[in-house]
Amino acid sequence: MSDFDASFDTRFSLTPVDESGTTETGVLLMGLEAERLLAGLGLAALADDPAQVLIAVDRIRHGVRATLTFEALVEAGAQRWRETRPALAAAVGPASPPAALRKALKDTLRMFAHCDLGDPGPATSAHLAACWLRRNEIDRLAQCPAHGEMTAP
């Protein structure tokens, strides 16, 4: 084994240069807590750009004045999840074995073509994919009572 191989630490491997932006956004979304994922899903209908949704949710979460509260966005996302989940479950069937995160995201996004979801935009797709891959946690949170109401500034 060469010195390079012995010292190579895969925890710090860079992503392939040809990896899609959607996949990388999905990887970032997978690291968020469930409430932020649902809030992003709730906001996706308003601004269907994954990066903009991520920034907007963070701003609202930290109290930047907005027309919607963080809790209202979580509830909107939970409602959207409850409406969408049956179509996802019908298209996928039983859970697949664990896979590399990027592969799992790509497979999930491809699966959406076989679901009756209408035409979800990139933010909706990115958030739904992350929610699907963490569906047990998202299901538990989405079953909680309403988190808040939509409010004006």
Q: CB under 8 Å to 109, separation ≥6 — which residues?
A: 22, 26, 125, 129
Let me know: does 102 contact 16? Beta carbons within 8 Å.
no
Measured CA to CA in angstroms, residue 13 lies from 8, 23, 25, 26, 102 at distances of: 9, 16, 17, 17, 13
Phi, psi for 45 (deg, rounded to 5): -65, -25
| Residues 92-122: tens digit of each pLDDT | 765 555 667 788 888 888 887 778 777 778 8
Ramachandran region, residue 83 (left: φ > 0; alpha: ψ -120 to 50; beta: rest): alpha
Q: How far apart are CA 26 and CA 130, in angstroms?
A: 6
Query: Global pTM?
Result: 0.68
- Which of residues 49 and 84 earns the better pLDDT score? 84
pLDDT tens digits along 53-93: 788 788 888 888 767 788 888 998 999 899 889 888 887 76
